[in-house]
């Protein structure tokens, strides 16, 4: 007689773990058998050095199932108070059109894609980014725009760095208008100190007293004033300095563009174009400059090129400027940008069109003008003569009473100096908002009526000489998708052009393209998380405080560090923030002369670029034949650096995909010479639950929450790169000028615009850890199992370049294509493009070793999907053999012609291989064909004929 299971037996303690892991128990056992192993424990014993292994399980709460985790987080969210925030300072209420909310922000076809390094399978988001660039170009009045930066404040710092690179002025002084947003001034000050620039923050009236290489001006400024910048810009140009202007994108629909006033660089936040405030982010910054400065431009640029058939194709342009190529000579250390948010802002503009956007701007300005007129009638003094959406008011002794009235009405005002208050209106405001503000400032019996004021003569806030007259957004894309039906189909057409995780595995080495579970994503659009201004009083954000504090506690347990700084909003920002903490620590001990940073030759390009940004001198440490750091070379260079040694930047496991046995000794060598160890967290997915960076010997490390902890890559951002530090470095991490953080020294500057960086995506990582608990170690073990299974199955066809103890790899492996290339002429790029015909995104090409492919399967891919990838790679190896044997010509074969498109199939077919061999090389491809929409893109043509705006329709006809 069968025994009915009890309730306890029916509970599922691993309910989410089973959803997160790709291979089930049977599949895992089958892979272990291929490796000649009986258990995962045996694999880990053979792979991870015993000296670094964590004893015992992670000290985390037991895993919650999806519903319980969502319920707990909902309880936190409900402790956030949703007031009307009229604080401004670069953050505004906005309305995300629901067609964009549902079909982009909440759509895995958009949020699980990777940075578009493979343009043939990324034409959809490349077009969206090109729209963003066109939007930026049109509204700023400049020639060239980037595809987004991290936030407005870091964009300001990048503008300063660009000015120093290209200005002919010999000065080392940069001027900052004291009426810029305070968080911008702080981030720029931090960057200037690190670069060794002199900085003066002063009233623009005093600009003439200084010889500078550039100046930062704000238009409108933080208090709402609108000045004619032309005289200031002409003064700067007279001394061969650059004018950098921070601006508000919505205001530029009504204001003369800064580019028309002579500005050289124009930047700001695109947040109010449909992107929720999210307690500080993520938001896309826009950045525009002159064509002559294109090679000094920070961040990524989307350009127009042609494919192999001569058709228009988009790609990332001028990539030789970027950190992964130029390393310490790069323009910046930017790796992750804000692609998903830039796309949302661009779609907001496409959906509303030029007239709809202008109507929103006019309405915001009209409401502000009515508010200004009513308050002026009643004798309230306004400090800014001109305005777009912001009023700064002198209320004297009534300040406290007004603040209390505002609190009673659940409205947040900007509290300035004694007797001063600020109000910034936005798209979400209406007549009732203005009526409530009249009540707050004037009392209930003020006698004012918005309707009566609107019917009368209300003075405009924009000076007549600065009203915009130039056209904008005339390209058809901004004038064709204004019904929801048209917009929905446009979004779907773009999505269909791209390959994301909702279609297939993306085996990019060093990128950890794992599952971004739906339950992890759901909370980010809850209003309680999405709609908070970053500078609300802390008591209104108790839910965020509880969630962030708990996440920090969990990250400390996972990494072994004593403190966490949540501010860096990308991995590269985390590197920069960690190096600044090291620099401040040395300075506090009288060791300011310590400025040498040792970096292994295998390091990611952001490492040397970040070290350069912290004014450290990079010294490269060589690797041995097995891919490990050459210990003797390290010892020699550490000794040579001596009292000048600041730190070592090391990735663990290494970027060669192995656990280096000597990592503890490496750390000890650095510490013995008075240096600090920065551990790059790019490969933390191979440590969690098995080892901890702090236990190994690291003093500071960043954690890519968009890799290891499930924040999706968004097609190239957002990301989050918080840093963990040992106790002695904790006082030296970033603070914030608006919301002071507990722990770091108050005088420490900010590295990002918002106190907790991109806070609204932190619930994703919170959910992941809450639902995994100590079972995070299972994810790490399966990631290692999947990588070793791939290495075993593919090693016979493509040699695995590096391996560690017992010939095991860590969570990724490098396949060496150089011998085949030498023999056949088939390159790693040919293989990468051919994989598209099989329905795969390529592994990482030529990093960290040229001529190779680095494969990282993650724990989320099933054995079935791994076997499909193995089948594709072995089939490609057989195709290469046909080239080797002379069956196919060296320059006319499926690899050299890949990827294949419908245009190939419907045209005249005169090739030595069949259509079926080209486009349906496997059963899966026959059943689930993914079609690239362009043939192989010509990179050289795109850079030689640089065009970075929307393509005229006639060009497609040609």
Q: Does one domain contain both 490 and 634?
A: no
The separation between CA 229 and the C-alpha centre of its own chain, rounded to angstroms, equals 32
Burial class (CB in 10 A: 0-12, 13-18, 19+), 310: exposed
Burial class (CB in 10 A: 0-12, 13-18, 19+), 661: middle
Tokens 């000296």, residue?
Answer: 51
- For the cut 80, the answer to whether the pLDDT of residue 949 exceeds it is no
pLDDT tens digits, one per residue of 158-191 = 999 999 999 999 999 999 999 999 999 999 999 9
Q: What is the mean pLDDT of the chain?
A: 95
Contacts of 809 (CB under 8 A, 6+ apart): 47, 657, 658, 784, 787, 788, 791, 800, 802, 803
pLDDT tens digits, one per residue of 246-274 = 999 999 999 999 999 999 999 999 999 99
Distance CA 31, CA 25 (A): 10
User: Considering the domain boundaries, does residue 483 fall inside one?
Assistant: yes
Q: Does one domain contain both 500 and 573?
A: no
Tokens at residue 371, please?
A: 């508010």
Tokens 């791209």, residue?
Answer: 498
- For the cut 80, the answer to whether the pLDDT of residue 330 exceeds it is no
pLDDT-derived band at 953 (thresholds 50, 70, 90) equals: low
Distance CA 730, CA 179 (A): 31
Q: Does one domain contain both 489 and 568?
A: no
Distance CA 889, CA 910 (A): 13
Taking the CB of residue 944, how many other CB atoms lie within 10 A of it? Answer: 9
pLDDT-derived band at 894 (thresholds 50, 70, 90) equals: very high
Beta bridge partners, 895, equal none
User: Considering the domain boundaries, does residue 722 fall inside one?
Assistant: yes
Given 504, 520, 543, the domain boundary residue is 504
3-state secondary structure of 632: helix
Share of the chain above pLDDT 70, in %: 97
Dihedral (C-alpha) 342, 221, 754, 762: value to the nearest 10 degrees?
A: -30
| Residue 801 main-chain phi, psi, to 5 deg | -70, -45
Distance CA 38, CA 29 (A): 8
SS (H, E, C) 902-931: HHHHHCCCCCCCCHHHHHCCCHHHHHCCCC
Given 735, 761, 787, the domain boundary residue is 761
User: What number of H helices and E strands is found in the chain?
Assistant: 36, 25
Q: How far is CA 270 from CA 283, 339, 435, in A?
A: 7, 12, 28
User: Considering the domain boundaries, does residue 533 fall inside one?
Assistant: no
Most confident of the ranges 314-323, 403-412, 605-614: 403-412
Residue 217 has what DSSP assignment?
A: E
pLDDT tens digits, one per residue of 417-429 = 889 999 999 999 9
The H or E element spanning position 646 is strand 645-651
pLDDT tens digits, one per residue of 583-629 = 999 999 999 999 999 999 888 778 988 999 999 999 999 999 888 99
pLDDT tens digits, one per residue of 631-672 = 999 999 999 999 999 999 999 999 999 999 999 999 999 999
pLDDT tens digits, one per residue of 88-108 = 999 999 999 999 999 999 999
Position 329 scores a pLDDT of 56
Q: Does one domain contain both 576 and 688?
A: yes
Q: Does one domain contain both 499 and 586?
A: no
Contacts of 52 (CB under 8 A, 6+ apart): 659, 663, 664, 691, 695, 696
User: Considering the domain boundaries, does residue 733 fall inside one?
Assistant: yes
- For the cut 80, the answer to whether the pLDDT of residue 531 exceeds it is yes
Q: How far is CA 78 from CA 81, 252, 792, 938, in A?
A: 7, 36, 50, 52
Beta bridge partners, 598, equal 619, 648
Share of the chain above pLDDT 90, in %: 92
The H or E element spanning position 895 is helix 894-897
Average pLDDT over residues 121-149: 97
Q: Does one domain contain both 500 and 574?
A: no
Q: Which domain holds residue 734?
A: 563-761
User: Considering the domain boundaries, does residue 623 fall inside one?
Assistant: yes
Q: Does one domain contain both 426 and 569?
A: no
Specify the number of domains making up the chain.
2
Average pLDDT over residues 774-782: 98
Average pLDDT over residues 40-56: 96
Residue 114 has what DSSP assignment?
A: -
On whether the CB atoms of residues 876 and 895 are closer than 8 A, the answer is yes
Position 955 scores a pLDDT of 61
Distance CA 337, CA 332 (A): 12
- For the cut 60, the answer to whether the pLDDT of residue 112 exceeds it is yes
Contacts of 446 (CB under 8 A, 6+ apart): 374, 378, 438, 439
The separation between CA 471 and the C-alpha centre of its own chain, rounded to angstroms, equals 31
On whether the CB atoms of residues 612 and 618 are closer than 8 A, the answer is yes
Q: Does one domain contain both 297 and 429?
A: yes
pLDDT-derived band at 336 (thresholds 50, 70, 90) equals: low
Q: Does one domain contain both 578 and 464?
A: no
Of residues 123, 103, 119, the one with CA closest to residue 111: 103
User: Considering the domain boundaries, does residue 44 fall inside one?
Assistant: no
Contacts of 506 (CB under 8 A, 6+ apart): 114, 499, 500, 513, 841
User: Considering the domain boundaries, does residue 766 fall inside one?
Assistant: no
Distance CA 231, CA 259 (A): 14
Q: What is the pTM of this model?
A: 0.97
Average pLDDT over residues 362-389: 98
Q: Does one domain contain both 448 and 314?
A: yes
Tokens 């309305």, residue?
Answer: 95
Tokens at residue 563, please?
A: 């403190």
Q: Does one domain contain both 574 and 686?
A: yes
Q: Does one domain contain both 223 and 117?
A: yes
Given 761, 795, 810, the domain boundary residue is 761
SS (H, E, C) 190-216: HHHHHHCCEEEEECHHHHHHCCCCEEE
The H or E element spanning position 412 is strand 411-412
Cis peptide before 282 (omega within 30 of 0): yes
Following DSSP, what letter does each residue of 20-76 receive, concatenated?
H-SS-HHHHHHHHHHTT-S-HHHHHHHHS-GGGPPPS----PPPPPHHHHHHHHHHH
CATH code, domain with 728: 3.40.640.10
User: Considering the domain boundaries, does residue 68 fall inside one?
Assistant: no
């Amino acid at each position: 007689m069968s025994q009915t299971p009890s309730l306890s037996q029916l509970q599922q303690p691993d309910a989410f773990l089973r959803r997160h892991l790709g291979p089930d128990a049977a599949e895992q056992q089958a892979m272990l058998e291929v490796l000649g192993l009986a258990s995962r424990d045996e694999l880990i014993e053979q792979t991870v050095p015993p000296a670094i292994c964590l004893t015992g399980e992670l000290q985390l709460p037991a895993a919650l199932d999806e519903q319980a985790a969502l319920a707990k987080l909902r309880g936190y969210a409900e402790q956030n108070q949703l007031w009307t925030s009229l604080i401004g300072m670069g953050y505004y209420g906005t309305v995300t059109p629901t067609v964009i909310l549902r079909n982009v922000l909440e759509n895995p076809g958009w949020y699980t894609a990777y940075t578009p390094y493979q343009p043939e399978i990324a034409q959809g988001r490349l077009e969206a980014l090109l729209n963003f660039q066109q939007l930026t170009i049109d509204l700023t009045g400049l020639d060239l725009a980037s595809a987004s930066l991290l936030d407005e404040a870091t964009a300001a710092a990048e503008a300063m760095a660009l000015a120093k690179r290209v200005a002919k002025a010999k000065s080392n002084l940069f001027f900052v208008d004291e009426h810029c947003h305070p968080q911008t001034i702080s981030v720029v000050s931090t960057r200037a100190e690190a670069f060794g620039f002199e900085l003066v923050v002063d009233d623009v009236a005093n600009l003439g007293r200084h010889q500078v290489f550039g100046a930062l001006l704000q238009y409108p400024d933080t208090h709402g004033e609108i000045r004619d910048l032309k005289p200031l810009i002409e003064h700067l140009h007279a001394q061969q300095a650059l004018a950098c202007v921070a601006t508000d994108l919505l205001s530029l629909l009504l204001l003369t563009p800064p580019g028309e006033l002579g500005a050289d660089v124009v930047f700001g936040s695109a947040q109010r174009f449909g992107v929720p405030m999210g307690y500080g982010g993520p938001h896309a910054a826009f950045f525009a400059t002159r064509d002559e400065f294109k090679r000094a431009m920070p961040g990524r640029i989307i350009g127009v090129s042609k494919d192999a058939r001569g058709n228009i194709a988009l790609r990332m342009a001028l990539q030789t400027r970027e950190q992964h190529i130029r390393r310490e000579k790069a323009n910046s250390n930017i790796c992750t940008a804000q692609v998903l948010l830039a796309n949302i802002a661009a779609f907001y503009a496409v959906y509303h069109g030029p007239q709809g956007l202008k109507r929103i701007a006019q309405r915001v300005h009209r409401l502000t003008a009515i508010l200004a007129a009513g308050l002026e009638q009643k004798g309230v003094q306004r400090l800014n003569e001109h305005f777009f959406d912001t009023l700064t008011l002198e209320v004297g002794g009534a300040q406290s009473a007004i603040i209390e009235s505002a609190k009673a009405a659940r409205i947040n005002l900007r509290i300035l100096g004694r007797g001063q208050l600020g109000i910034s209106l936005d798209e979400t405001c209406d007549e009732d908002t203005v009526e409530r503000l009249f009540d707050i400032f004037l009392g209930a019996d003020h006698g004012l009526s918005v309707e009566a004021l609107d019917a009368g003569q209300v003075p405009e806030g924009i000076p007549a000489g600065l009203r915009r007259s130039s056209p904008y957004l005339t390209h058809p894309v901004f004038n064709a998708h204004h019904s929801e039906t048209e917009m929905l189909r446009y979004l779907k057409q773009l999505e269909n052009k791209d390959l994301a995780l909702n279609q297939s595995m993306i085996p990019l080495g060093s990128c950890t393209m794992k599952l971004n579970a739906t339950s992890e994503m759901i909370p980010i659009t809850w209003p309680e998380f999405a709609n908070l201004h970053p500078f609300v009083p802390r008591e209104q954000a108790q839910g965020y405080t509880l969630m962030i504090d708990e996440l920090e506690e969990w990250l400390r347990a996972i990494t072994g560090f004593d403190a966490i700084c949540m501010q860096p909003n990308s991995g590269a920002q985390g590197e920069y923030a960690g190096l600044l903490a090291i620099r401040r620590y040395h300075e506090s001990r009288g060791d300011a002369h310590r400025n040498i940073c040792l970096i292994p030759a295998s390091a990611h390009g952001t490492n040397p670029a970040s070290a350069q940004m912290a004014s450290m001198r990079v010294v490269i440490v060589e690797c041995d034949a097995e891919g490990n750091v050459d210990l003797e070379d390290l010892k020699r260079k550490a000794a040579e650096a001596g009292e000048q040694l600041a730190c070592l930047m090391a990735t663990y496991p290494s970027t060669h995909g192995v656990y280096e046995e000597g990592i503890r000794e490496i750390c000890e060598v650095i510490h013995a010479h008075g240096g600090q160890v920065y551990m790059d967290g790019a490969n933390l997915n191979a440590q969690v639950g098995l080892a901890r960076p702090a236990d190994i010997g690291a003093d500071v490390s960043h954690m890519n929450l968009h890799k290891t902890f499930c924040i999706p890559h968004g097609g190239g951002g957002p990301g989050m790169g918080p840093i963990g530090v040992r106790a002695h470095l904790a006082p030296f991490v970033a603070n914030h000028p608006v919301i002071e953080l507990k722990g770091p020294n108050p005088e420490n500057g900010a590295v990002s615009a918002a106190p907790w960086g991109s806070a609204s995506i932190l619930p994703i990582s919170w959910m992941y850890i809450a639902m995994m608990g100590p079972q995070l170690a299972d994810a790490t073990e399966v990631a290692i199992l999947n990588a070793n299974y791939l290495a075993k199955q593919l090693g016979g066809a493509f040699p695995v370049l590096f391996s560690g103890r017992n010939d095991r790899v860590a969570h990724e492996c490098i396949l060496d294509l150089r011998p085949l290339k030498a023999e056949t002429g088939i390159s790693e790029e040919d293989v990468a493009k051919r994989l598209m015909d099989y329905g795969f995104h390529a592994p990482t090409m030529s990093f960290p070793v040229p001529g190779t492919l680095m494969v990282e399967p993650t724990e989320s891919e099933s054995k079935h999907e791994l076997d499909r990838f193995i089948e594709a790679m072995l089939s490609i190896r057989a195709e290469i053999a046909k080239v080797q044997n002379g069956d196919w010509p060296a320059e006319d074969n499926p690899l050299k012609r890949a990827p294949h498109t419908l245009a190939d199939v419907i045209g005249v077919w005169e090739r030595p291989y069949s259509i079926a061999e080209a486009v349906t090389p496997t059963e899966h491809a026959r059943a689930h064909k993914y079609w690239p929409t362009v043939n192989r893109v010509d990179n050289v043509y795109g850079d030689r004929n640089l065009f970075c705006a929307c393509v005229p329709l006639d060009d497609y006809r040609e």
